[in-house]
Structure 1
Amino acid sequence: MTTGQWWIVALSEQLAPGKVLAAVCNGQQLALFRNSEGEAFALEDRCPHRRVPLSPGQVRPGGLQCPYHGWTFDGASGRCTDIPNLRRDEKIPPAAVAAYPVAELNGFIHVLTGEGEGEAAPAAALPGAAYRASGREYTGTAVVGIGFGHYLDLMLDGTQCLLSFPGVVITDFFMGDPRLDGGYLVLDRGAVWAGKGVGPAFVRDHPLLVRTRVPLAGGDITAELLDADEQPLVTVLIGASANLRGTTSLAWRGFAHERAAGAPFGWRLRRLAGRAPFTVAQAIDARAVALVEAAPSRERGGAAARTIPITPAITAAAGCNGARAQQETFP
C-alpha cells in the first residue's frame, strides 16, 4: 500500500539513457538516472561508504557507480552490486543506499517520498495524470528563491508574481471565494487582454479568467487561462517541491489550446510565430512579493489543517509586475 507522497521531480526529456541528474525533491537530495533500457531510477544522492554525492557518477550495467571509490548501486533496491577492489570470489558487504519508487507519466518523472511502503501507485494518483498536452509544448525547470509553502500561497494570492500570459493583464479581482475541490483549493481571478483599458469597465467586465488549482498536500499546481465561457486557452502544470535553504524546485509543462475565438490579433500572431503562451518566473521580485496581502491563501491553510497536517506559511496579493521570467522550450 502506498502511504508516501508522489512528487514531480523532473521532466522526462531531462534524463537521457545513461545519464544522471542531481535533483532535490521535498528537501531530499536525489540522484536520478536512466539505464540503457530507458528505465528511470532515484537513489539518495549520498554513497554510504564515504557520503560523497552519487550524482557525478556513471551509469553501469549494475546500476549507478560512485565517482569516488567505484561502488555501484542497483537503482531499484539501492543494494551495492559491485566494489572494484574486491576479488571476484569475495562477498560484497550488505551496503545499500536509499532507493525511491519512480513513475513516469505525461512527460513528468515522479518520485515517491515519505514514510511507509509503496512500490507503485495507480496512474490516476500521480500528479501528472490530469495533464494532457495538445500541440506544441513549452517546458522548463528552475529553482526559485522563495520557500515552498510561500510559493503555493503566492500562487493563490498573487498569481502574477509567479506566472504571466503575454498579452494578458491578470487583475487583483477575485471571481468569488476559493473553493475546495478534492485535495485542491481552486480560485478564479479576472483578467483582460492587454491594451483594452483599465477603467471602471475593467472592473465590471472580465473577458478572461485565470484559474489556479493549488494542492493542500504535494506540489502539483495547475494554472489555466480561460475565456468568458470558461473554455481553456492555455494550460500549465507546475511541479513544485521544497529545495534546500528555503528555495523551491520547479518543473513545468504547458501548451495553448486550439480555441482562440475573440483573442486579439497580436495574441494569435504570437502563437503562429511559436512564441510561448506563458512564462513561469524564475527570478522573483522580492519587493513586489513583500507587498502582497494575505487573502485566499488563508483558506488553504485552514483547509489543510482540517484534512492533512502541513506547515503553515505566511503569504499575501497585489501587483507583481516586477517579476522577471525566462522560458525553456523543447520542440
Structure 2
Amino acid sequence: MPTGAWWTAALSEQVAGTKPLAVVCDGRQLALFRDAAGHAFALEDRCPHRRVLLSPGVVKPGGLQCPYHGWTFDGASGKCTDIPNLRRDEKIPAAAVRAYPVAEQNGFIHVFAGEGEAPQRLPAPAYRPQGREYTGTAVAGIAFDEYLDVMLDGPECLMAFPGVLITDFFLGEPRRDGAHVVLDRGAMWKGRGLGPAFVSEHPLLVRTRVPLAGGDIAIELLDAAEQALVTIQVGATANRRGTTSLAWRGFAHARANKGPPGWCLRRLAGKPPFNVFTDIEGRAIAALEKAPSLARRGIIPIASHQHAHPCAAEESFA
C-alpha cells in the first residue's frame, strides 16, 4: 500500500515542545518532533531495541529518547546517539530507526514515504492563507481512496459551508488540471429556493480538486464571478484499519463578508466558514452514486483542462 510521495502528516503547530507527536502517514506509524532549533523530523515509531513505540518518549539534545530503555535516536539519520547504561568510553552499537524526509510549507508538515530522491514540489504550494485560519485534524472512519472518491461524488457528506446548500448539479464534466481531477458543482444560499435564483440571483459554486495520486485536496466556495469566498486545504492519508488521517486549514476571503444576513453574522462572530466532518455518516456514503470519481479512477475519460462558468448548462446526476 505505501507509495513514494510527499504526504501531509500534521499541522505545523501540532509539533512543538519536548513531546513527540504520533501519526500514521501512508499507513506507516511515525513519531514527529522538533529539535531545539525548531527543525522537524520524522522517525519510524518503533524502537529497534525492544520494538516499543518511540512516540511516548521525550526529545533530548541528541534526538528522540525511547521511553523504555532510554535509547536516543538522531532525527536526521535515525542512528542511535546514546544508550544510558553504557559507560562513556563504550562504543554505541550500530542501531538505527528509519528516518523520513520532512518538509514544512504553508502550515503543514509533510513526510516523504518513498525510496530515493524526494521530489521538490510539496503538496498544496498554492495555498496562501489570508487573515484568520481555521484548522483541525481527525481520523475519519472511511478508507483513503473512498474518501477521495466521495469528495468528488458527494462532498456534502464530508464537509459543509454553514448557510450554503451544495447541490447535485455538475457544472461541466470532471476535468484534469495537472495531477488533479477538478469538478465544479452548483451551490446556493440556504432558504433561497432552487428556482431562477439558482442561476441568476444568488449563484454559488463549489470547486473540488482531488489528486490522482497523493492526498492534497483543495475545496473552494466561489461566487458567480468565480472569485473565491472560502478556501480549504485538506491533507488526507491512509491510516490503519481502513481509516483516513485528515489535517486541514482554511480561511474566508475578504469578499466573503458579503452575503445573506445569517452568513454575514457568522463572519462577524468569528465562526468557521466551513466544517470538515470528523464523524461520517455511512448511510449517506452508501447512497451516493459513483459518477465523477470514475474519472479519477480512470474508468471514464477525463476532459482536458477547460474553464467552466456557473452559467453554463447544468446536468444533474441525482
Of 193, 201, 212, which residue of structure 1 is paired with 2:196? 201
Task: Verify the 8 A CA contact 2:291 2:317 in the aligned structure 1.
Answer: no
- Alignment correspondent of 1:218: 214
| Cα deviation, residue 27, structure 1 | 0.2
- Alignment correspondent of 1:106: 106
Instruction: Please show how residues 43-192 of structure 1 align to structure 2 within 5 Å.
Output: 43-118=43-118, 121-122=119-120, 125-192=121-188
Residue 24 of structure 2 corresponds to residue 24 of structure 1: yes
- Alignment correspondent of 2:310: none
The 3 A distance-change label for structure 1 pair 154 and 38 is same
| Cα deviation, residue 303, structure 1 | 7.6
Q: Which amino acid aligns with 2:150?
A: L
- Alignment correspondent of 2:40: 40
Instruction: Please show how residues 273-312 of structure 1 align to structure 2 within 5 Å.
Output: 273-302=269-298
Matched positions, count: 302
Q: Which amino acid aligns with 1:267?
A: W
The 3 A distance-change label for structure 1 pair 303 and 6 is farther
| Cα deviation, residue 19, structure 1 | 2.4
| Cα deviation, residue 318, structure 1 | 8.6
| Cα deviation, residue 260, structure 1 | 3.3
Percent identity, please. 69
Q: TM-score, normalised by structure 1?
A: 0.87
**Which stretch shifts more, 24-33 or 8-17?**
8-17
Q: Distance in 1 between matches of 2:157 and 2:243?
A: 16
Q: Which amino acid aligns with 1:201?
A: P
Of 245, 253, 256, which residue of structure 2 is paired with 1:260? 256
Q: Which runs of 4+ in 1 moved over 2 A?
A: 115-118, 200-206, 303-306
Superposed CA deviations along residues 248-298 of structure 1, whole A, max 9, x for unmatched, are 000000000001375112111110110000000000010111000000000
- Alignment correspondent of 2:15: 15
- Alignment correspondent of 2:313: none
State the secondary structure of the residue aligned to 1:166.
coil
Superposed CA deviations along residues 17-68 of structure 1, whole A, max 9, x for unmatched, are 3221000000000000111211110000000011100000010000000001
Task: Verify the 8 A CA contact 1:217 1:304 in the aligned structure 2.
Answer: no
Q: Distance in 2 between matches of 1:72 and 1:298?
A: 47
Task: Verify the 8 A CA contact 1:292 1:318 in the aligned structure 2.
Answer: no
Q: Which amino acid aligns with 1:180?
A: R
The 3 A distance-change label for structure 1 pair 56 and 262 is closer
State the secondary structure of the residue aligned to 1:271.
helix
The 3 A distance-change label for structure 1 pair 256 and 155 is same
| Cα deviation, residue 203, structure 1 | 5.9
Q: Distance in 1 between matches of 2:213 and 2:149?
A: 12
Superposed CA deviations along residues 175-198 of structure 1, whole A, max 9, x for unmatched, are 010000000000001001010013
Task: Verify the 8 A CA contact 2:101 2:112 in the aligned structure 1.
Answer: yes
Instruction: Please show how residues 235-250 of structure 1 align to structure 2 within 5 Å.
Output: 235-250=231-246
State the secondary structure of the residue aligned to 2:278.
strand
Q: Distance in 1 between matches of 2:140 and 2:233?
A: 16
Task: Verify the 8 A CA contact 1:4 1:117 in the aligned structure 2.
Answer: no
Alpha-carbon RMSD: 2.0
**Which stretch shifts more, 78-87 or 260-269?**
260-269
Task: Verify the 8 A CA contact 1:8 1:128 in the aligned structure 2.
Answer: no
- Alignment correspondent of 2:226: 230
